[in-house]
Amino acid sequence: MELSEKLVKLRQQKGLTQEELAAKIFVTRTAVSKWENGKGYPAIDSLKLLSEVYGISIDELISDDDVVAVRNAKRRRSRIFYWCAVGCIAAAAVFAAVAAAADIVLLLIPFAVAVAGYVVFAFLSRPFSDGAGRADLVRYIACRLIVLAIVVAALVTTLIKEFV
């Protein structure tokens, strides 16, 4: 797909007019029109701003790969890791509950493995190159750490109950 075609497709997916896009990246509507008609190419500064507006890398913007296919592949990978993280945290909860109810300390080993799996899959579940801002990243990490703190609190409670 040509750059001009990608620019039209991405702008339409975002629901922007040429005028609105031009205002966001500090150029004229005529410049956007030239790029989309293949009569000119954006400067590197404009490419940087376009990649930020569309939430993709400059490589994705100027490459021949279909942008939608790349984005969908990232989303599929992210979903797989997300559900693996959910499975790990569910397994950790089950192991912690059974260990607490049955007083079986050895179940804390698979509990710890499940928690480690959760941490790994949770951080892999989010592609950080998708244009997310720093605030989004901080919220994402904070949410993961809160869940991890709850699980660790369950582990500590079980250990205290066992040894006290």
Domain boundaries, given as residue ranges, for the chain = 3-65, 72-163
What is the pLDDT at residue 118?
Answer: 86
pLDDT value at position 133? 60
* Residue 9: per-residue pLDDT: 92
Give mean pLDDT in consecutive 10-residue pieces for the chain, a chain of 164 residues.
Answer: 87 94 95 92 92 88 70 83 90 84 81 86 69 66 78 75 70
- CATH code: domain 3-65 is 1.10.260.40
Confidence (pLDDT) at 105: 75
pTM of the model: 0.50
Helix/strand/coil (H/E/C) assignment for every residue in the chain: CCHHHHHHHHHHHHCCCHHHHHHHHCCCHHHHHHHHCCCCCCCHHHHHHHHHHHCCCHHHHHCCCCHHHHHHHHHHHHHHHHHHHHHHHHHHHHHHHHHHHHCCHHHHHHHHHHHHHHHHHHHHCCCCCCCCCHHHHHHHHHHHHHHHHHHHHHHHHHHHHHHC
